[in-house]
Amino acid sequence: MLTQTSESQSKLNSLDVLNILKEGNKRFVSNSLISRELLTQVRETSTGQFPIAVVISCIDSRVPTELIFDQGIGDVFCIRVAGNVISKDVLGSVEFACKIAGVKLIVVMGHTSCGAVKGACNDVELGNLTGLLNKIKPAISIVSNREEVVDKSRFVDEVAFENVQISLNTILSDSPIVNDLVKNNKVKCAKGMYSVETGEVELNLL
């Protein structure tokens, strides 16, 4: 697998990038990762980077972004924060990735058995973590107010999934720069859910 260049990046559209990530996850799950010369990629990216996607995911140590999508150095921007919540700093990073660095796809990815979501569901309060978990509370309300009863064993994962949608909505509503790129079909958004049980990512365009 070659290191991404300005030329290779420019030839890809958002759907191409989505498929690259999906295929990479299939390789991860089947334990058939591409053999990469990582030090060669270090040298090749030393004078510039041309990533194809920006992925906002949780800090959970079981969800290493590049590994689960089988990507190399210089391929993706990774923004990791507990509960994959959105802040102004995250928005600024996404704006840089899209407007300046030329990525074609924004992915917000939650995961099963998310500790941050569990904390929000249990009303955990701890220093600055309290404010972070409060950003997940709207997703709890959505799931709690559904007409159909959600099984207790699935509640946390359902909240995590709704939280991904809320994070994407926040990016589009709070960043006119990203919103404009999406409206002009220069960038697309996708929502993902990673299974800590199987290693599989369910990834779909918004």
pLDDT at 133 over 80: yes
Q: Tally DSSP H helices, then E strands, for the chain.
A: 10, 5
How many whole angstroms separate alpha carbon 139 and alpha carbon 167? Answer: 10
Q: Does residue 130 lie in a domain region?
A: no
Would you state the pLDDT for residue 198?
A: 98
The model's pTM is 0.95
Q: Does residue 116 lie in a domain region?
A: no
Contact 200, 25 (CB under 8 A): yes
CATH number of the domain enclosing 180:
3.40.1050.10
pLDDT tier for residue 1 given thresholds of 50, 70 and 90: low
Domain limits for position 21: 6-111+168-205
How many whole angstroms separate alpha carbon 55 and alpha carbon 66? Answer: 9
Contact 91, 174 (CB under 8 A): yes
Q: Which residue, chain included where needed, has tokens 């500790």?
A: 115
Average pLDDT over residues 7-20: 95
Q: Does residue 119 lie in a domain region?
A: no
Strands 76-80 and 53-57: parallel
pLDDT per position as a tens digit, 62-97: 999 999 999 999 999 999 999 999 999 999 999 999
Contact 114, 58 (CB under 8 A): yes
How many whole angstroms separate alpha carbon 95 and alpha carbon 102? Answer: 10
Average pLDDT over residues 13-26: 97
Residue 200: phi and psi, rounded to 5, are: -85, 145
Q: Does residue 52 lie in a domain region?
A: yes
Q: Does residue 24 lie in a domain region?
A: yes
Q: Does residue 121 lie in a domain region?
A: no
Q: How far is CA 78 from CA 4, 32, 130, in A?
A: 16, 22, 24
Give the tokens for residue 38. Answer: 């990582």
Residues whose CB falls within 8 Å of the CB of residue 124, separated by 6 or more in sequence, listed in order: 130, 133
Q: Which residue, chain included where needed, has tokens 């997940």?
A: 136
Average pLDDT over residues 99-122: 97
Q: Does residue 85 lie in a domain region?
A: yes
pLDDT per position as a tens digit, 155-194: 999 999 999 999 999 999 999 999 999 999 999 999 999 9
Q: Does residue 126 lie in a domain region?
A: no
How many whole angstroms separate alpha carbon 20 and alpha carbon 199? Answer: 16
Residues whose CB falls within 8 Å of the CB of residue 131, separated by 6 or more in sequence, listed in order: none
Counting the structural domains of the chain, the total is: 1
